[in-house]
Amino acid sequence: MAQPAVAASDGDTFWVGQGSNTLVRQTLSALWPWISARLVTFKHPIVEISTNTTVDGAVHNGRLLICSQPVTLTPIAGNMGSGFVCDIINLSAGVVTLGGGSILSSSGQTALQPGQAATLWCATYSGGTVLYAFMGNGGVQGTSSSPATGIPGAVSGVTASNATASSIQLTWIAPTTGGAVTGYAVQFRLSGTNAWSGTVSGISSLSQTITGLAAGSAYDFIVVGSNANGSGPSSAVVTASTTMAAGAVTSIVWNVAPSGSYVHGSGVIGVNVHVTPSAAAVQFGFSTSATAPPSSWTAGVNVNSDLWGAYVPTPGTAGTWYAWAAGTDGSAPTHYATAFSVS
């Protein structure tokens, strides 16, 4: 039956009972010292996790989650709500994974090794809703540690080389700050995508060949060093591309072939063909014979889709010549039926 109240102030009063049936008045400002004296003794509730679990605001917000088994924790923003925060410690003998595929991580990784820790937030802001895991210091330590014995610093000097149709070799320089690295991990993804689709961990050297990649594709790579205290920050992103596959060609259809007359040893001649399968690399050359392939070849370039082309040096000898194309493995050698003249 009371009228609506305005915003609270320190001088507001309320009735309290203090050991008798006589009510007395108390102000909000007088109550605050009692509240603040008890805040320092507050302890975060502990929740033990031993099975795969979906993170939920009603159960896990403000809690310390102790993972006693290698489990997957799946954060879902709709279940957590903006402002959610919890701490996670992996006290199991295996890896604890933050699943779901939508987490932004300070280390670029979503896996906690045994003895590592993370803080998980959910926040809504002008750019949308973000799930963020801070995994910087990661380790459970009984005493404070100096920077030299903490997590590693960032890996530097990452370079890519020796690309094939399915692999790329990475090399890097060990961190010069932080604790000593006991292992490295490489994460990779197709360029233009957001989620890291692959991880190679447990690397003990300063190089690693990443295999199982798609032919003719660009990939992003990062390298992270770690030790018993946790994972350091990730390296700068390096982008490199695999080569086109040199697999067997089953069909070659000429699109642009030489025509007219050319001056021997002068310039180049542009040619291109449609190839099946489209990712199988081809080569081009000229021969004076319609039955014997060329003795030398020029590697083709994938123009788009199944179209491959090249600029082939004009023959150095006058005469009648035929244009040839074949897979780089020698498969499906095909000549253009109409010869061209070199003068």
Instruction: Give the CA dihedral 298, 299, 305, 307, nearest 10 degrees.
Output: 10
Average confidence (pLDDT) over 172-177: 90
Which residue do the tokens 């690399």 mark? Answer: 281
Count CB neighbours of 265 within 10 A: 12
Is 138 a residue whose pLDDT tops 70?
no
Q: CB–CB of 161/180 below 8 Å?
A: no
- pLDDT per residue over 220-247, tens digit each? 999 999 998 888 888 999 999 987 766 6
Using CA atoms, how far apart are residues 204 and 160, in angstroms rounded to an integer?
18
Question: pLDDT grade, residue 140 (50/70/90)?
Answer: very low
Average confidence (pLDDT) over 69-79: 91
Is 161 a residue whose pLDDT tops 70?
yes
Q: Domain ranges for the chain, please list them.
A: 46-134, 151-241, 251-342
Q: Is the dihedral of CA 233, 235, 237, 243 positive or negative?
A: negative
- pLDDT per residue over 181-229, tens digit each? 999 999 999 998 888 889 999 999 999 999 998 877 899 999 999 998 8
Region class of 267: left (phi > 0), else alpha (psi between -120 and 50), else beta: left
Count CB neighbours of 125 within 10 A: 8
What value, to the nearest 5°, has the Cα angle with vertex 175 and ends 171 and 205?
Answer: 40
User: What's the DSSP call for residue 278?
Assistant: T
Using CA atoms, how far apart are residues 340 and 257, in angstroms rounded to an integer?
9
In 3D, which of 134, 137, 152, 234 has the Cα closest to residue 188? 234
Q: What is the CATH number of domain 151-241?
A: 2.60.40.10
Q: CB–CB of 148/113 below 8 Å?
A: no
pTM over 0.95, yes/no: no
- 151-241 and 251-342 share one CATH topology? yes
Residue 298, Cβ density class (10 Å: 0-12 exposed, 13-18 middle, ≥19 buried): middle
Task: Please report the pLDDT score of residue 336 as a whole number.
Answer: 96
Task: Please report the pLDDT score of residue 274 as a whole number.
Answer: 96
Query: What percent of the chain is modeled with pLDDT above 70?
Result: 94
Task: Please report the pLDDT score of residue 86 as a whole number.
Answer: 96
Q: What is the CATH number of domain 46-134?
A: 2.60.120
- pLDDT per residue over 261-315, tens digit each? 899 999 999 999 999 988 888 999 999 999 999 989 999 988 888 999 999 999 9
Higher-scoring residue by pLDDT: 107, 110: 110
Using CA atoms, how far apart are residues 63 and 53, in angstroms rounded to an integer?
14
User: What's the DSSP call for residue 130?
Assistant: E
Task: Please report the pLDDT score of residue 245 as a whole number.
Answer: 67
Q: What is the CATH number of domain 251-342?
A: 2.60.40.10
Find the helix or strand (DSSP H, E) in which 30 lies. Answer: helix 28-39
Using CA atoms, how far apart are residues 247 and 331, in angstroms rounded to an integer?
9
Instruction: Give the CA dihedral 90, 91, 96, 100, nearest 10 degrees.
Output: -50
Task: Please report the pLDDT score of residue 183 as a whole number.
Answer: 94
What's the mean per-residue pLDDT of the chain? 88
